Structure 1
Amino acid sequence: MPLIATMKKPQGTPSRSRFSALQHHPRSWTYKVYLLPTPHQRHVRISAWRQLVQDMGVSESLLRVVPTVPDWVPAQDAADAAAEVVSAMCPGAGELVACRYAEVTFIDQGVNFEAVGCPVCAAPLDSDWWQERMDDAYATRFATLDAVTPCCSATVSLNDLEYYWPAAFARFELQVRDPGRGWLSPDEAAQVSTVLGITVRQVFSHY
């Protein structure tokens, strides 16, 4: 049977603080681990995951599949079915984890981050402007993602900015650790979208 675990963040977090991907963790989340064929492998992999959470010092790559709507969370049967589909697409993966977050969470690309652009006029966006908007959104626990771009004064969602490499906001993700492959193809992503019940996007993270 898959392992279910819940972890809670200590109380007392300031309502506003300088945002960073390594500092921000949801106050609670549930993760469901797949691809654990034996009790020994289950113990080894969960131990490795706990160590990663503790020190964030392990180098690894993650293929992350998330809904395009940040606060959307699938039913359990849809999540399980989508996990099976993604698992079949990544036969050489180390592990697949389905994460349900208590709050909308920034699904970052780790060291793959390069730049941010405007989705309306394609102008590059200053990193300080983006950081300030992330601070504003983080103060609302990412419940509010709207921002007005400095280039063309368009009102856009931080979720819709052009991230290089891609990034996203979500309350649910299928996270493939060390996937052993590159991006899902458009046809593969469409298959996952059909099973999950919503269009998905991908984030490739490296830490």
Structure 2
Amino acid sequence: MSFYFMTEVAMSEHYVQLVPVDAHFIPGLAAQQAVVALLRELWPQVGEIDCEVAEQVVYRDCGENFERVGCPHCGAELDIAAWHALMDADYCEQSGGFTLASQTLSCCAAVATVNELDYAWPQAFSRFAVIAQAPGGLLEPALLTQLEALLGCPLRVIYRMC
């Protein structure tokens, strides 16, 4: 008797998310379309390139790339339970989004928003994002500058693996 085993290989999905440093900023529709058109031209092999606009500020995570959260003031690594408490305190059930209110950090008693914390790999909060399947490698600084000019705002780059 022969047995055949079929195993599914889980493939990781990689994405790049471009979000404004100002979590509330939403570029105009023409700017959004221009960025998508440019990225489609530069990355023809990428399947998904879209802009996302949320009603409220949402958390843009790095997925499996998550390593740690640090204090932007003293550099201490925050305990994950303490970070979860900060996230829970900032989330507004009524609106379904984050308020980005300043909170006292347990490490040094300084204040910061959850968006100002030092995330390794980068993460952020925003209402707007450009999300693309990662074309491989890191975003070139010159391209980031070009995208910022098109959107009219400085951007954070988040590499998400899921």
What TM-score do the two structures reach when normalised by structure 1? Answer: 0.67
Residues 44-193 of structure 1: pairs in structure 2 closer than 5 A: 59-139=12-92, 141-177=97-133, 179-193=134-148
Q: Distance in 1 between matches of 2:117 and 2:32?
A: 26
Deviation at 1:138?
1.3
Q: Which residue of 2 aligns with 1:196?
A: 151
Deviation at 1:68?
0.5
Against the structure 1 CA distance between its residues 148 and 193, is the aligned structure 2 distance closer, same or farther, given a 3 Å change threshold? Answer: same
The structure in which a higher percent of residues are helix is 1
Q: Distance in 2 between matches of 1:163 and 1:150?
A: 16
Residues 4-15 of structure 1: pairs in structure 2 closer than 5 A: none
The one-letter code sitting in structure 2 at the alignment partner of 1:132 is A
- Contact 2:100-2:115 at 8 Å conserved across structures: no
Aligned length: 150
- Contact 1:183-1:202 at 8 Å conserved across structures: no
Deviation at 1:59?
4.2
Q: Distance in 2 between matches of 1:101 and 1:131?
A: 22
The one-letter code sitting in structure 1 at the alignment partner of 2:149 is T
| Alignment RMSD (CA, Å) | 1.7
Deviation at 1:117?
0.5
66-75 vs 77-86, which deviates more?
Answer: 77-86
Larger radius of gyration: 2
Residues 16-31 of structure 1: pairs in structure 2 closer than 5 A: none
138-147 vs 158-167, which deviates more?
Answer: 138-147
Q: Distance in 2 between matches of 1:108 and 1:68?
A: 14
Q: Secondary structure at the match of 1:160?
A: coil
Which 5+ residue runs of structure 2 have no aligned equivalent?
A: 1-9
Give runs of ≥4 in structure 1 deviating > 6 Å.
Answer: none
What TM-score do the two structures reach when normalised by structure 2? Answer: 0.85
- Contact 1:64-1:205 at 8 Å conserved across structures: yes
Deviation at 1:122?
1.2
Q: Which residue of 1 aligns with 2:6?
A: none
- Contact 2:19-2:128 at 8 Å conserved across structures: yes
Deviation at 1:84?
2.1
Against the structure 1 CA distance between its residues 149 and 76, is the aligned structure 2 distance closer, same or farther, given a 3 Å change threshold? Answer: same
Q: Which residue of 2 aligns with 1:13?
A: none
